[in-house]
Amino acid sequence: MTGRRPRVVVLDYGSGNLRSAQRALLRAGADAEVTTDFDAALNADGLVVPGVGAFAACMAGLQEVRGDQVIDRRLAGSRPVLGICVGMQVLFTEGVEHGVHTKGCGQWPGTVERLHAQVLPHMGWNTVQAPAGTVLLAGIGSAERFYFVHSYAARSLPLEVSGHMRVPLLAWATHGEPFIATVESGPLCATQFHPEKSGDAGAALLSNWLETLR
């Protein structure tokens, strides 16, 4: 794929900052389209799964366009997927909101729950503690800030995973308590923050991800 722009689909399932994600990917060097089309999402070089709002609503929308199936099929073939915000959360086993348990895509073990913090939502800029060996955050200084808007997060991810996954690399942020800010696990990556709203740091992260598609 060297010498051409990677083809990226931003999955349209009724949730997320679709056009802002598309514009950010275009600026970062991708050919990016927003679509609900199953085959386009399956065959693109990269798939971006955005998400804004409630876990249960996002899962319902995702299932309606068979997004959970396309994610599973892509990962079975080691085809890259990037989840953003609630698009990251739905990759876990389940989400719990107001006492209601909703089954997620189950790509990672773990539960997404309400943060223990005095002020929610966690809205605004925050730093991220990157792991050694990170690809997503490579070259991005530790003082750089990313833009978050959420009240729920995953607080743990068991390190023993199998199948198409590798042991995940986790970046952490803190709002009231530590939570997972990014996950890098073979072809499946995700960010709790919004790279498309995170200025130069977010653009650098998207460029890093696009490099993995080449």
Where do the structural domains in the chain lie, given as residue ranges? Answer: 7-211
State yes or no: is 33 an active-site residue. Answer: no
pLDDT reported for residue 129: 97
pLDDT reported for residue 160: 58
Catalytic site residue from 58, 85, 105, 189: 85
The angle, 0 to 180 degrees and rounded to 10, between the axes of the packed helices 18-28 and 199-211 is 70
Position 207, amino acid? S
Catalytic site residue from 98, 105, 194, 211: 194
CATH code reported for the domain at 7-211: 3.40.50.880
Residue ranges of the chain whose pLDDT lies below 50: 1, 162, 164
State yes or no: is 194 an active-site residue. Answer: yes
CA diameter of the chain: 50
pLDDT reported for residue 158: 72
State yes or no: is 97 an active-site residue. Answer: no
CB 88 within 8 A of CB 48: no
pTM over 0.85: yes
Q: Is 195 helix (H, G, I), strand (E, B) or coil?
A: helix
Helix ranges, the chain (H):
18-28, 38-43, 55-64, 67-76, 86-89, 199-211
β-bridge pairing 108-114 and 152-154: antiparallel
Q: How far is residue 74's CA from residue 57's CA, in Å, rounded to a whole number? A: 23
pLDDT reported for residue 1: 41
Catalytic site residue from 113, 144, 184, 196: 196
